Structure 1
């Protein structure tokens, strides 16, 4: 029997609050453990050598800081597509669109990227390569056959999301158990059968590329691997007990994900052939580089594990792709509801599902399969977009503490007035480490989004338009333009950087600039009355606080 759709008005569809703690935790953990675990260790080791372990620790600290901020916001304001809605409460409709647009760019790209990763892994299997012909020569772009299989996967994701969030969380929960078990099994097998302690000082010592290598490793796969904790926030409007469960789900998923990834990096480095890294870390594994753990398992005499890993190379990315198709649809739903994208996207079916938003994510995902850059290049683009998305949360948290102080906060981030600016700085450092070549492309995409925002307003009835507080968002273009300029003058990336800023002083410039923008942004937040008016518009979705 189908439960009636929850609503505050008779006959009005409303998001179903049917997801509990484990569903939320598995949604976040399932997003954290995707294709990143199969490639992250290799990419990080090539850039930083054994010091890549420090890259994982640094990323874990950064993500934990941002996760605690999201935990407070998600518990206090449990709404679908939360990363788009928090800045909307603090900075008005345009601030919400800016935060929501970068979040949507990140999420809508992740589903097809994960699907493509699945197919690229499977293409390493001889039978698949001979009979399915998934990839063109070089293994980067899909053939017609590969496009058909990728489209089929996206269609399956779409159907699951259309059925409803309960099926989404339940199907994900079963997948996540597998996704965690396989990496843990891999660690145990490699550490017991093939471990060379000397590898941690080989090829130029523990840190052959110094601190620069540690930082540069973050955007090539480390941040990509550990991002995803915010998925519990995105489903906040569909949580049974958001005040209690969202913060616990985020923190639990982050702890588990961090431990798994650290152990994987240790197992990867220790299992390499010492001869391959005797001189440098440019090519630590000479074959099977798109499925390195399967290669290492075979060399360790555990061929049976290689088969499991190839199966997981499909399950892990596909499971994450399923989640992100749902996430991107919740974000476009949120922006449609705010009238900053076509209002049709903000409508729900009688089952409480954002049908048009889900279909939009499917269509855009299909477009992403066209011959764009390789999986590796797209990871850096997604990393930069993710950092931009995360950066809106710390300023929103402090602004809402000041403008909405009476609201009950079931979870309150510790030392928030230190944690929030630290989180904003950390997000900007990730953007900087990604490099100028990626950063300016993301900024172009944001400009395109602003044009779409103006078109949506021009085609919306005046009575349905929310007023824009232009002053409240004046910090956004200054912040984005400043980050592009610093990246151009900086030392990270593979093209276009002037390297005019000295080592370490470049980080000081990013930190100082970030702090100035942070406190300016907090001061520019809309008034208390406007925040309360925005919250009032969301009353149907927000759970009553005691």
Structure 2
């Protein structure tokens, strides 16, 4: 499509209220990053990689920064609610948009229950009865978990301003306690020799460093994209979105890296003589609480127990909002029932928020413990992230004249690198986790097909989904199937380990590049992309009466 005038930045209207400023956006992302991951991530990383776990955090930090840069450009140029579900549709059409949105919704709707379970697991050390001997919720624990979900949902329904202010207060606490923990442990008990104990600096080699990423490291750092999900409610997304995303990631990486250093340094060297299998002792769920108790720091233990509730609860609060925005986006895009896009008088997608609550409650039943969901959620999150660099490159090609308030530098290098990195994390999650996620994706496609068939039988082909752009399956299916095959025969929890070490990583990188360039070639024509962008703006600007409670 040729044009003589520069297309403006995509803006949205009054369907959702633009009341969220820079600090609230950054705190929403940072509040998602600092959750139960800080309480548990250092221990799981150390058990996998020993002293070299600090390299796991550095590697994860680099990967997340690259992905944040990608989201910063997309979020500032196309500021829509539930952005991760809507960006791919702009470039590739309905099927790609639904795929990203469904995977994003799976991870978002599961995180609030995860954070509730983490909070109750810690509190059970003081107030017994929440968790049984297997680490699962008891009947009483399930009741308290449900009440917490009611609280999160209620705050969200009060309006985005309530959410932002509540989250701001919570995040200030969530930053202060980890920083205080780092300072106290380094000054009270720090053994530099611990970093080379238990078999040397990297007792499990590169394999251990990579394996640590999906065991809690990436889970801890994920969530930076929450500011982009709130793009439809940002007061000045063009100016604030990039700063909020990048600022939140930078602070999160610094805090988590410092926590890992302090944790390893504070360990009793006698516990590492036999290796890293149990650096703080069996059955100790709270690593920092255990260390504080060993050092006689009762006051710090009390603060950590309080934070063990506040940090996960704050993250759960944000993710109820996020999952609601994603299902709202799926509805607005014509992929889910229109009722999910109903907006309350306070400007909140209230039906989507209620659905997030119900599904969150249901998630407690098959996944009654923190550990049972972390790897699955990490893989789903990274698949969602993987759509972003492909979309950025495709929109640079098919929508080149649009004003980009933030333009990511070296996009021709960073975009493919970030896509490779995302796929490596998916691979490191292991085949046991991956096949379960693929089952969930297939279920999503079945639901989408049923929903579309019902719509067609009632009303004819829905206007919002006239062009499914089925050709995008020409890169989506090979992408996921290829990663799955390499995972099944690779070196990380494989069905049958056939592919040699390092060759597996090279294969993932090579396959990622093939899919990257194939996807960019299969971007929709310029006129269709322009029409889709205009449609997104029109959908967001519209506020029909039937969408209100």
Kept in 2: contact 1:79–1:541 (CA 8 A) = no
- Aligned-partner Cα distance in 2 for 1:173–1:101: 28
Which aligned pairs between 1:427-438 and structure 2 lie closer than 5 A?
Answer: 427-438=422-433
2:279 pairs with one of 284, 291, 295: 284
Q: Does residue 1:482 correspond to 2:482, yes or no?
A: yes
Which aligned pairs between 1:319-468 and structure 2 lie closer than 5 A?
Answer: 319-372=314-367, 374-460=369-455, 461-465=459-463, 466=465, 467-468=467-468
Give the 3-state SS of the residue equivalent to 2:407 in structure 1: coil
Kept in 2: contact 1:81–1:333 (CA 8 A) = yes
Equivalenced residue count is 526
**TM-score of the superposition, structure 1-length normalised?**
0.95
Kept in 2: contact 1:287–1:295 (CA 8 A) = no
- Aligned-partner Cα distance in 1 for 2:238–2:147: 37
Q: Tell me the residue number matched to 2:132.
A: 136
2:198 pairs with one of 203, 209, 215: 203
- Aligned-partner Cα distance in 1 for 2:210–2:12: 48
- Aligned-partner Cα distance in 1 for 2:264–2:177: 18
- Aligned-partner Cα distance in 1 for 2:333–2:505: 37
Q: Tell me the residue number matched to 1:473.
A: 473
- Aligned-partner Cα distance in 1 for 2:101–2:341: 14
Q: Tell me the residue number matched to 1:50.
A: 51
Deviation, structure 1 residue 333: 0.3
- Aligned-partner Cα distance in 2 for 1:371–1:412: 43
Give the 3-state SS of the residue equivalent to 1:539 in structure 2: helix
Pair 501,7 (structure 1): closer, same or farther in 2 beyond 3 Å: closer
Deviation, structure 1 residue 428: 0.3
1:538 pairs with one of 536, 539, 546: 536
More deviation, 320-329/289-298 = 289-298
Deviation, structure 1 residue 162: 0.9
Kept in 2: contact 1:325–1:361 (CA 8 A) = yes
Which aligned pairs between 1:278-317 and structure 2 lie closer than 5 A?
Answer: 278-286=273-281, 289-317=284-312
Deviation, structure 1 residue 374: 3.2
- Aligned-partner Cα distance in 1 for 2:132–2:262: 32
Give the 3-state SS of the residue equivalent to 1:229 in structure 2: coil
Which aligned pairs between 1:10-29 and structure 2 lie closer than 5 A?
Answer: 14-29=15-30
- Aligned-partner Cα distance in 2 for 1:304–1:503: 46
Pair 229,541 (structure 1): closer, same or farther in 2 beyond 3 Å: farther
Deviation, structure 1 residue 421: 0.5
Query: Which whole-Å deviations, capped at 9, do the CAs of 1:84-109 have from their partners, x for residues lacking one?
Result: 00001011111100000000001000
Q: Tell me the residue number matched to 2:240.
A: 245
Kept in 2: contact 1:121–1:313 (CA 8 A) = yes
More deviation, 374-383/397-406 = 374-383
- Aligned-partner Cα distance in 1 for 2:476–2:275: 42
Calculate the aligned-residue CA RMSD, in Å. 1.4
- Aligned-partner Cα distance in 1 for 2:273–2:297: 24
- Aligned-partner Cα distance in 2 for 1:35–1:436: 25
Deviation, structure 1 residue 542: 6.7
Q: Tell me the residue number matched to 1:115.
A: 116
- Aligned-partner Cα distance in 2 for 1:505–1:137: 41
Kept in 2: contact 1:339–1:456 (CA 8 A) = no
Q: Tell me the residue number matched to 1:511.
A: 509
2:265 pairs with one of 257, 270, 273: 270
Query: Which whole-Å deviations, capped at 9, do the CAs of 1:260-300 have from their partners, x for residues lacking one?
Result: 00110000000111111112100000156211101111222
Q: Which runs of 5+ in 1 are unaligned?
A: 1-5
- Aligned-partner Cα distance in 2 for 1:503–1:377: 27
- Aligned-partner Cα distance in 2 for 1:19–1:502: 50
**TM-score of the superposition, structure 2-length normalised?**
0.94
Give the 3-state SS of the residue equivalent to 1:423 in structure 2: helix
Deviation, structure 1 residue 463: 4.9
- Aligned-partner Cα distance in 1 for 2:234–2:216: 30
Deviation, structure 1 residue 375: 1.4
Q: Tell me the residue number matched to 1:520.
A: 518
Pair 536,337 (structure 1): closer, same or farther in 2 beyond 3 Å: same
- Aligned-partner Cα distance in 2 for 1:368–1:352: 27
Q: Tell me the residue number matched to 2:4.
A: none
Kept in 1: contact 2:12–2:79 (CA 8 A) = no
Q: Tell me the residue number matched to 2:5.
A: none
- Aligned-partner Cα distance in 1 for 2:177–2:266: 17
Deviation, structure 1 residue 301: 2.2
Pair 84,7 (structure 1): closer, same or farther in 2 beyond 3 Å: closer
Give the 3-state SS of the residue equivalent to 2:174 in structure 1: helix
More deviation, 531-540/107-116 = 531-540
Q: Tell me the residue number matched to 1:261.
A: 256
- Aligned-partner Cα distance in 2 for 1:279–1:29: 37
Q: Tell me the residue number matched to 2:157.
A: 162
Kept in 1: contact 2:117–2:368 (CA 8 A) = no
Query: Which whole-Å deviations, capped at 9, do the CAs of 1:99-134 have from their partners, x for residues lacking one?
Result: 000000010000001001100010011xx11xxx11
Kept in 2: contact 1:107–1:327 (CA 8 A) = yes
